[in-house]
């Protein structure tokens, strides 16, 4: 099973999964029908088909998306994904998840997401820049530091954000660093942004282990070796965890005694595939990685990786979701019934959007914080959110996911009631 082929077939796709999660939590908090109707659908959806001149002089037409799910609590916030299977259904789901993520971590944002159906590794740097600038131009009607603030996601990075910021600024006639987050520090990016998602996951993992009465360490398997997965490899290793397996979409490596994190990290940072790092561990497939007997499993790739077809084979007692939507609702219910603790995506990987918020604030005020200040603020936000979700889960006797959704939906619903419905 490859990471891209594990479809959420039993629920019809990522957006159906997102709606199922929303509906369950809405039922639990008794959300009134009118608000349910409003919060269940995206506010805006933009699909663009745009030409890009390739290096050989040919013209290729790409399809891109930007979906704003909800703006009630503030500007839309969400990443931009470059991935071969990206489609409108996926982007809708990711935008909705961003709304709840920003709400559960209590940031003044709504949720959005964007994407282009493309394999960025198949493009030259020049072609990637051309595509990025043209896509950014197409979505400029939605973008703005007070309206919609993109960030990196799968297949994009700080260089892509720099091109988007520059493109937007050229259209405006002056520099607008706050229009995107996840930029290089040299042009208004924030210290600590690159590893923010993994850092937030580490804080959340420690908090949950502490509340479960388990040791603050143990073995970890990581599915995904992009920015998040690599960050987990580096930060969890430095914090005393033993990374025994990691994979990308081509496969992975396993070593029960622990992988050489420093060597593997250097290999990944040079652009290498996990399986090509020789002498570190034995080959392992993504399907096998998900079934390892480890203390912590972190699916940090794409959605729908743990589903009805393989949930029974998952042996980790704690799952910390680095990706968005990596477990389908059916699999989630099965794992919960078995006593598996799942730290849901909208809580576990909220460190990225939290430091994006810090970056946005710094850009707006043109006053920048140190790396230590960023880490302290991020840790405080994550611990507070984990405590709120954990306490509600215990009080209501529900899963951490259900508690996180209840908190998030209640916050967005309250803001909607206060603002009212514009006639």
pLDDT in tens, 30-43: 999 999 999 999 99
Using CA atoms, how far residue 291 sits from 4, 136, 286, 399, in Å, is 18, 40, 9, 22
How would residue 278 be classed by pLDDT, with cut points 50, 70 and 90? confident
Percent of the chain with pLDDT over 70: 97
CB 48 within 8 A of CB 60: no
How far is residue 149's CA from residue 357's CA, in Å, rounded to a whole number?
Answer: 10
**Mean pLDDT on 243-268:** 91
- Residue 9 is predicted with a pLDDT of 38
How confident is the model at residue 271, as a pLDDT?
84
Instruction: Place 272 in a pLDDT band, splitting at 50, 70 and 90.
Output: confident
Does the pLDDT of residue 311 top 50, yes or no?
yes
Residue 81's SS3 state is strand
3-state helix, strand, coil in the chain (%, to 5): 50, 20, 35
End-to-end CA distance of the chain: 49
pLDDT at 93 over 50: yes
Tell which residue, 342, 345, 352, 333, has the closest CA to residue 297. Answer: 342
pLDDT value at position 412? 98
Mean predicted confidence (pLDDT) in 238-246:
95
* pLDDT in the model for residue 226: 87
- Alpha carbons 374 and 352: distance in angstroms, whole number: 12
| Of 12-21, 137-146, 382-391, the least confident | 12-21
**Residue 3: pLDDT over 80:** no
Maximal C-alpha separation, the chain: 65
Q: Of the candidates 402, 370, 21, which has an alpha carbon nearest to the alpha carbon of residue 185?
A: 370
Residues 94, 106: Cα–Cα separation, whole Å: 18
Q: Is 278 exposed, middle or buried (0-12, 13-18, 19+ CB in 10 A)?
A: exposed
Percent of the chain at pLDDT exceeding 90: 86
> Which residue is catalytic, options 77, 101, 113, 183?
113
pLDDT higher than threshold 90 for residue 233? yes
What CA–CA distances, in Å, run from 410 to 9, 73, 75, 94, 402?
Answer: 29, 12, 18, 19, 12
User: Sorting pLDDT into bands at 50, 70 and 90, what band is 423?
Assistant: confident
pLDDT above 90 (res 243): yes
Average pLDDT over residues 371-387: 95
**pLDDT at residue 2, as a whole number:** 43
pLDDT given for residue 120 in this prediction: 96
Let me know: does 289 contact 300? Beta carbons within 8 Å. no
Contact predicate 204/235, CB 8 Å: no
The mean pLDDT value of the chain amounts to: 93
Rounded to whole angstroms, how far apart are CA atoms 51 and 371?
40
**pLDDT at residue number 5:** 37
- pLDDT of residue 415 exceeding 50, the answer is yes
Band (7; pLDDT cuts 50, 70, 90): very low
| pLDDT above 50 for 184 | yes
| Tokens 């493009």 found at | 123
Residue 310 CB contacts under 8 Å (≥ 6 apart), including other chains: 1, 6, 287, 290, 291, 331
Assign 1 a pLDDT band (cuts: 50, 70, 90): very low
What single string gives the DSSP state of each residue in 89-137? HHHHHHHHHHHHHHHHTT-S-EEEEEEEES-GGGS-HHHHHHHHHHHHH
The distance from CA 227 to its chain's CA centroid, rounded to whole angstroms, is: 10
Domain ranges of the chain: 43-177
CATH 3.40.50.10860 at 43-177, yes or no? yes
276 pLDDT band, cuts 50/70/90, is: confident
pLDDT at 280: 83
Residue 108 burial (10 A CB sphere; 0-12, 13-18, 19+):
middle
Is the pLDDT confidence value at 4 over 70? no
Rounded mean pLDDT, 97-117: 97
Given a contact cutoff of 8 angstroms between Cβ atoms, the answer to whether 40 and 70 are in contact is no
Distance, CA of 394 to chain centre: 26
Active site residue 101: no
Three-state secondary structure string covering 293-330: CCCEEEECCCCCCECCCCHHHCCCCEEECCCCCCECHH
């Amino acid at each position: 099973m490859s990471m891209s082929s594990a479809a959420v077939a039993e629920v019809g796709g990522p957006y159906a999964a997102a709606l199922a999660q929303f509906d369950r939590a809405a039922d639990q908090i008794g959300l009134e029908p009118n608000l349910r109707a409003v919060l269940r659908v995206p506010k805006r959806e933009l699909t663009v088909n745009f030409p890009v001149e390739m290096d050989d002089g040919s013209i290729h037409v790409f399809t891109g998306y930007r979906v704003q799910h909800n703006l009630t609590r503030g500007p839309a916030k969400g990443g931009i994904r470059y991935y071969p299977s990206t489609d409108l259904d996926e982007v809708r789901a990711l935008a909705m998840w961003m709304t709840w993520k920003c709400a559960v971590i209590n940031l003044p944002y709504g949720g959005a997401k964007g994407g282009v159906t493309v394999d960025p590794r198949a493009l030259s740097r020049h072609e990637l820049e051309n595509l990025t600038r043209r896509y950014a131009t197409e979505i400029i009607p939605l973008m703005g530091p007070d309206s919609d603030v993109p960030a990196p996601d799968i297949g994009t990075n700080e260089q892509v954000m720099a091109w988007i910021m520059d493109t937007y600024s050229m259209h405006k006639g002056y520099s607008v660093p706050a229009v995107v987050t996840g930029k290089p520090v040299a042009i208004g990016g924030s210290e600590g942004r690159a590893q923010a998602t993994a850092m937030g996951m580490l804080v959340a993992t420690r908090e949950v282990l502490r509340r479960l009465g388990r040791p603050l360490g143990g073995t970890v398997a990581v599915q995904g070796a992009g920015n998040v997965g690599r960050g987990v490899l580096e930060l969890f290793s430095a914090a005393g965890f033993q990374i025994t397996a990691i994979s990308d979409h081509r496969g992975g490596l396993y070593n029960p005694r622990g992988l050489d994190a420093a060597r593997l990290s250097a290999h990944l940072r040079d652009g290498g595939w996990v399986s090509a790092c020789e002498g570190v561990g034995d080959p392992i497939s993504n399907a096998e990685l998900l079934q390892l007997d480890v203390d912590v499993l972190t699916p940090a790739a794409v959605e729908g990786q743990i589903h009805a077809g393989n949930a029974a084979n998952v042996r980790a007692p704690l799952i910390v979701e680095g990706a968005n939507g990596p477990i389908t609702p059916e699999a989630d219910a099965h794992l919960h019934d078995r006593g598996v603790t799942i730290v849901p995506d909208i809580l576990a990987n909220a460190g990225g959007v939290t430091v994006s918020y810090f970056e946005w604030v710094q850009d707006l005020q043109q006053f920048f914080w140190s790396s230590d200040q960023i880490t302290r603020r991020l840790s405080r936000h994550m611990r507070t959110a984990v405590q709120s979700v954990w306490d509600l889960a215990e009080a209501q006797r529900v899963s951490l996911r259900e508690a996180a959704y209840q908190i998030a939906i209640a916050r967005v619903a309250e803001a909607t009631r206060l603002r009212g419905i514009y006639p």
